Structure 1
C-alpha cells in the first residue's frame, strides 16, 4: 500500500484518526459545506472536539481550491505566531517544499513596534511583506487580531494579494471584528477562511492547513 504522507505514520494511528473522523461525521448533523470544505471543518472539529465550528467556519468561494493550489506550488506560509509553525507537520510540508515563517519575536520587529507604539504582530506582517512572502503566500493567523487587521489594510490599501488568508484569531479585543473585516473583503480580491465570532486559535489554523495538505496530496495522486 502506498504511503500517504498526510496521514498518521502507523496503522494504529491511522485507524484512530479515521474512527474519529467517522464519529465527527455521524454526530455533526447537517451542514451546507462542500465536500472539500467539510474536510477542513471536520479536521478542526477533530482537533478541538467543538462541534460549533460546524456553522462558525466560513469560506470565500474557491478558498479551498486556492489553498490547495498554493500548497501544490510550494507557496510559503506566514504565521502570526511560532505555535502555528511548530504545530505543522514537517514531513507534510517538505513533501510540497513549503516553508513556514514567523517574525513575532525578532528584535527588529519588537524595536519597531515600540518605536511606533503598535504591536509586534503588525510589524511582523510588515516584515513579511518587505521580504516578499505575503504576495502569493498563505497567511495563517490564529492568535493576533492586529495581524489580521494589518493584512486586511494591506490588501485594501497596498494591493496585497495573498493566495489565501486563514483568519482565525481568538480573543475578546478585535478578534471578531478583524475576522468580519476579512470576510467583507471582495472574494475576487482575496480568498479567505474565517471563524465567526471570538473563537479561534493556532490549533484550528494548524488543523485547517493539515486538511488542505491532505486535499493537495489527494489531488497530486489523482
Structure 2
C-alpha cells in the first residue's frame, strides 16, 4: 500500500490544519457563528473531535465581554497547573493581567484537608479573595464549578467569564449546567467531554483574536 504524505512546511502546519477543519465543517453542513468560529475551530484543532462544534455553548456576547475584561486587566485562574502552563501569556501581560493556579499552594492544601473538601474548591475561594476581575478556566474539577456557582449566589464572586470544560463522570454534567443557569458569561462544553488542554486552548483562542501580531 502506498501512503502519500502532504508536503507542508513546519510553519504552515497549523494553517493547513485549520483549512482542513474549515472544509470538513462546511462539508458536514454545520454552520457556526463567525464570532465564535476561532474558538470552536481551535478546540477541534486541539482534540481532532468535531463533536465540539455541537457541544460548546456560549452565553450572549461572551467574546466581546471577555476581550473587554482582559483589556481592563482581568486575570485568568485555572484549576490545574497544566492549563496554566498551556495558556499563552503574551496578550494578557500586555494589558496588565496574569495567569494563576492555586491548586498546589500549601495553604490551599491545608485548608482543604481540614475542611474535607477538594483543593479545587478552596483554590476558587482564594481566587475570589484577590479583589481582581477574574476569568476562571476550569478543565478538570467539577467541584470548582460547583463552588463558583455557590459563591456567585452568595455574592462572593462576580466572574468576568467561566470556561467550564471539566472532563469525567461524577457531577461533571451537572456542574456545567449549574454555571449555565447563572447570569455570568460562560463558555461550556456540554456533556462529559473536556479537559485542561481545552480550557487552555479556549483562553488562547480569545487571546490570539486580540493579538494583532498573529496571522490567523
> Contact (CA 8 Å) 1:80, 1:102: kept in 2 or not?
yes
User: Can you list the C-alpha shifts for 1:83-102, whole angstroms capped at 9, x where unaligned?
Assistant: 11111123344344330111
Instruction: Tell me which residue corresponds to 1:5.
Output: none
> Contact (CA 8 Å) 1:71, 1:216: kept in 2 or not?
no
Spell out the pairing of 1:179-218 with structure 2 (5 A cutoff). Answer: 179-186=176-183, 190-218=184-212
Q: 158-167 or 170-179, which moves further after superposition?
A: 158-167
How far apart in 1 are the matches of 2:187 and 2:96? 23
> Contact (CA 8 Å) 1:36, 1:215: kept in 2 or not?
no
1:140 lines up with 2:140 in the alignment: no
How far apart in 1 are the matches of 2:125 and 2:151? 9
1:21 lines up with 2:15 in the alignment: no
How much has 1:54 moved relative to structure 2? Answer: 0.7
Report the count of equivalent residues: 206
Instruction: Tell me which residue corresponds to 1:3.
Output: none
Instruction: Tell me which residue corresponds to 2:160.
Output: 163
User: Can you list the C-alpha shifts for 1:1-47, whole angstroms capped at 9, x where unaligned?
Assistant: xxxxxxxxxx9454211111110011123335321211101000001
Instruction: Tell me which residue corresponds to 2:99.
Output: 100
- In structure 2, list runs of 5 or more residues that go unmatched: 1-7
How much has 1:181 moved relative to structure 2? Answer: 0.7
How far apart in 1 are the matches of 2:42 and 2:54? 14
How far apart in 2 are the matches of 1:167 and 1:13? 32
TM-score where L is the length of structure 1:
0.86
Distance change in 2, residues 1:32/1:158 (3 Å): farther
> Contact (CA 8 Å) 1:88, 1:206: kept in 2 or not?
yes
Greater gyration radius:
2
Distance change in 2, residues 1:12/1:137 (3 Å): farther
Instruction: Tell me which residue corresponds to 2:150.
Output: 153
Instruction: Tell me which residue corresponds to 1:130.
Output: 129
TM-score where L is the length of structure 2:
0.88
- In structure 1, list runs of 5 or more residues that go unmatched: 1-10
Distance change in 2, residues 1:117/1:44 (3 Å): same
Instruction: Tell me which residue corresponds to 2:71.
Output: 72
User: Can you list the C-alpha shifts for 1:151-209, whole angstroms capped at 9, x where unaligned?
Assistant: 111111225211111011111111111001111113xxx10000001100011111111
Distance change in 2, residues 1:177/1:32 (3 Å): farther
